[in-house]
Amino acid sequence: MNTRQGALLGPAEIRDLAGRLGVRPTKTLGQNFVHDGGTVRKIVRAANLRGGERVVEIGPGLGSLTLGLLDAGASVVAVEIDPVLAAQIPLTVAAHVPGADVEVVHADAMDVTELPGDPPTALVANLPYNVAVPILLNFLERFPSLERVLVMVQAEVADRIAAKPGSKVYGIPSVKAAWYADARRSLPISRNVFWPVPNVDSALVALERRDPPPTTAHREAVFRVIDAAFAQRRKTLRAALSGLAGSGAAAEEALRAAGVDPGARGETLTVEEFARIAEHLA
């Protein structure tokens, strides 16, 4: 899907809008606004949306990406925590993409358990960086209708989400994301496309939902094992899971029953292996 030139916000419009609204971007809310139409078009293209697809966007901010998604024909439900920005979105949309289908939910995305309208099949967002991983995991958990995700996050976080077992950066975000989806690192994004310019690099990460690993263990139990395994990264799984199992011996027994070497470390295990351990710890 393509985006028309005039529909998007450029640097002058971003400054002007922020000035008129009295918006002073805050670090706490991860407010770095994209002011480059080329970047918005790149993200919309990478999102690979179907015509008329229902998309949820978290943190629309001043509307840079929202306009790109709408102009490409998507129907958007946008969740924004900042009341001034949330109130402005419909007005900005009406001015740039008249008649577009947008709904705004003024809320903290961490608290959102339901969304108005048709269930979204895609999540596309430039996420607030300090809460990107919990928001991503919560949305995958709470909205099973989501088939695809394309989010912009801090480059290191994108690497961590997409990392595979054995990689140095493989950790909690990688394994938990793998519970829900196949993740891959997508395009890098220059820090110069933001206002204000952040002091970290950004990148897109794409996720395709797939079934969770077949297991009798509950997701919560598997996630507890993952948390424990990585809480003490340098320790062997036998030591790291001894608290959860009740003792080192019990941890060793569960690991052996799951077919996992008790001397191994968490960073070498697949999500399927974590699920098997959880089954035997239960």
92 binds ligand SAM (CB under 6 A): no
Query: In whole angstroms, what is the distance from residue 62 CA to residue 53 CA?
Result: 22
Question: What tokens were used for 182?
Answer: 């196949």
Query: In whole angstroms, what is the distance from residue 92 CA to residue 77 CA?
Result: 15
Please give the residue whose beta carbon sits closest to ligand SAM in the complex. 59
Residue placing its CB nearer to ligand SAM in the complex, 44 or 81: 81
Question: Shortest Cβ distance from residue 43 to ligand SAM (Å)?
Answer: 8
3-state secondary structure of 105: strand
Q: Which stretch binds ligand SAM (CB under 6 A): 79-87, 166-174, 212-220, 248-256?
A: 79-87
Q: Is 32 annotated as a binding residue?
A: yes
**Number of Cα atoms under 13 Å in the Cβ half of residue 44:** 25
Question: Shortest Cβ distance from residue 196 to ligand SAM (Å)?
Answer: 11
Residues 14-53 as x/- pattern, contact with ligand SAM by CB under 6 A: ---------------xxxxxx-------------------
- Helix/strand/coil percent split, the chain, to 5: 45, 15, 35
Residue placing its CB nearer to ligand SAM in the complex, 131 or 228: 131
DSSP designation for 101: -
Q: Residue 279's closest CA among 228, 216, 224?
A: 216
Question: What tokens were used for 233?
Answer: 């990264």
Q: Is 126 annotated as a binding residue?
A: yes
Q: What amino acid is encoded at 271 in this protein?
A: V
210 contacts: CB under 8 Å, gap ≥ 6? 180, 181, 182
Q: Is 59 annotated as a binding residue?
A: yes
262 binds ligand SAM (CB under 6 A): no
- Per DSSP bridges, beta strands 33-34 and 194-195 are antiparallel
Residue placing its CB nearer to ligand SAM in the complex, 30 or 73: 30
Q: Residue from 95, 110, 257, 282 that binds ligand SAM (CB under 6 A)?
A: 110
64 binds ligand SAM (CB under 6 A): yes
Q: Residue from 61, 73, 171, 173 that binds ligand SAM (CB under 6 A)?
A: 61
Question: What tokens were used for 17?
Answer: 């809008």
Answer yes or no: are the C-beta atoms of 135 and 152 closer than 8 Å.
Answer: no
Question: Shortest Cβ distance from residue 80 to ligand SAM (Å)?
Answer: 5
Q: Is 80 annotated as a binding residue?
A: yes
If one counts every other C-beta atom within 10 angstroms of the C-beta of residue 197, the result is 10
Q: Is 192 annotated as a binding residue?
A: no
Q: Residue from 6, 91, 108, 142 that binds ligand SAM (CB under 6 A)?
A: 108
- Residues annotated within the binding site for S-adenosyl-L-methionine are 32, 34, 59, 80, 108, 126
Contact residues for ligand SAM (CB under 6 A)? Answer: 29-34, 58-61, 64-65, 79-82, 85, 108-110, 126, 128, 131
